[in-house]
Amino acid sequence: MRKIIFFITLFFVVCGINNHATTQGQGMSKTTADGTVPAALTKLARDIDESVVNTWQKALQVFERWGRKPGVERWDLKQLNLSSQQQANVIRDLTELGFIDAITPQKNTYDYAFILGATVKSMMQRLDYLVKQWNNGTRFSKLVFLTGERPLLADSDNFAALMCQHNKQVCSITWDKKTLPNSESEAARLIHAYFNMPDEMRAIPVLFVSVPRTWQKEQAQWQRPNTAMTVEALLQKENLSSRTILSVSGQPYAQYQHLVLHNCLQSKQADNVSIETIAAATDNENLQYKLDAVWLWIKNQIATIPKNIKA
């Protein structure tokens, strides 16, 4: 088991940070407490557009061009126009950084398992990966879905079709405006209700955390809850001090979401929260999707560098 000490001096989203140990799943990128940029990140910047990245701040500037703009969702991102050689090099670099391959649990037992909210397809993939870990011997005492009241989309959240493929029992239900879930939170409840899993896992207590959207007056648009907001809501219900947590994300966003979870948990629960984030390997070929994840990871990574060290 690898332990990494995060020295947090600020957090740019919601939470303030304290300094505590955390554990990471196999395959997570290593945090460099001295502020050194990983060689694979330097290679990635060079392979995309020959940029020179030797500091985290420079990395943030370079990769910002591939980060999502306000109001743009992950599923809206378009494919990059790269040569076949560039694509091969980028995939190699992303694999070395830990954004492609599966990340597996490091222990056999945990107090909690978290399913991080996402599209219906992604939540199903995350729960499926957790079921596989259960079948491989991993155990936990409570299951938590961290979700928000994001309205479902007809194309990326086709609940009835996706669940019918997984569980034929769902096909016999008449799905209409009265029965279909309207939000990510409602979808999570139905996914859990109809998902195929061992009876012993089905009997595990489950908690659904649902966070409402917020209205952004300046942009005149709704903002869906992010991971940090759902953690804040969870901490109003559960005392996680000295608990072990296995969170389930999806590649390529596992690295970024792990840092968000860690930062928020440590800011609110000061005593020995141990968290690992696992994920199945990604099958999404959209490199823009992956580079957006790298940009988010860099933004969070900068917050882990000691204040007296130049980032």
Measured distance CA(114)–CA(249) in Å, rounded: 9
Q: Is the pLDDT of residue 80 over 80?
A: no
Is the previous residue joined to 205 through a cis bond, with omega within 30 degrees of 0? no
| φ and ψ at residue 298, rounded to 5 degrees | -60, -45
Q: Which parts of the chain are beta strand (E)? A: 3-6, 20-23, 109-116, 139-148, 206-211, 214-216, 221-223, 244-248, 274-278
Cα Rg of the chain, angstroms: 19
Measured distance CA(99)–CA(78) in Å, rounded: 18
**Are both 87 and 17 inside the same structural domain?**
yes
Compute CA distances 129 → 103, 170, 257, 260, whole Å: 10, 20, 17, 21
Amino acid identity for residue 204 in this structure:
I
Which tokens belong to 137? Answer: 């011997």
**Are both 237 and 199 inside the same structural domain?**
yes
CB atoms within 10 A of CB 145: 26
Is residue 255 in some structural domain? no
Residue with the two structure tokens 């440590």: 266
Question: First and final CA of the chain: distance in angstroms?
Answer: 27
Is residue 44 in some structural domain? yes
The better pLDDT of the pair 15, 280 is held by 280
pLDDT in tens, 147-194: 999 999 887 799 999 999 999 999 999 999 999 999 999 999 999 999
Q: 150 — alpha (psi -120 to 50), left (phi > 0) or beta?
A: beta
> What mean pLDDT is reported for the chain?
84
- For the chain, what is the domain count? 2
DSSP H helices in 168-235: 184-194, 199-202, 227-235
Measured distance CA(237)–CA(219) in Å, rounded: 31
Expressed as residue numbers, the domain containing 200 is 109-250
pLDDT in tens, 13-66: 345 434 444 444 455 655 555 578 899 999 999 998 878 888 899 999 889 887
**Model pTM score:** 0.84
CB atoms within 10 A of CB 240: 22
**Are both 133 and 211 inside the same structural domain?**
yes
pLDDT (mean) for 192-220:
95
Is residue 195 in some structural domain? yes
Is residue 238 in some structural domain? yes
**Are both 92 and 116 inside the same structural domain?**
no
Is residue 263 in some structural domain? no
**Are both 137 and 8 inside the same structural domain?**
no
Q: Provide the pLDDT confidence category of residue 305 given band limits of 50, 70 and 90.
A: low
pLDDT given for residue 116 in this prediction:
95
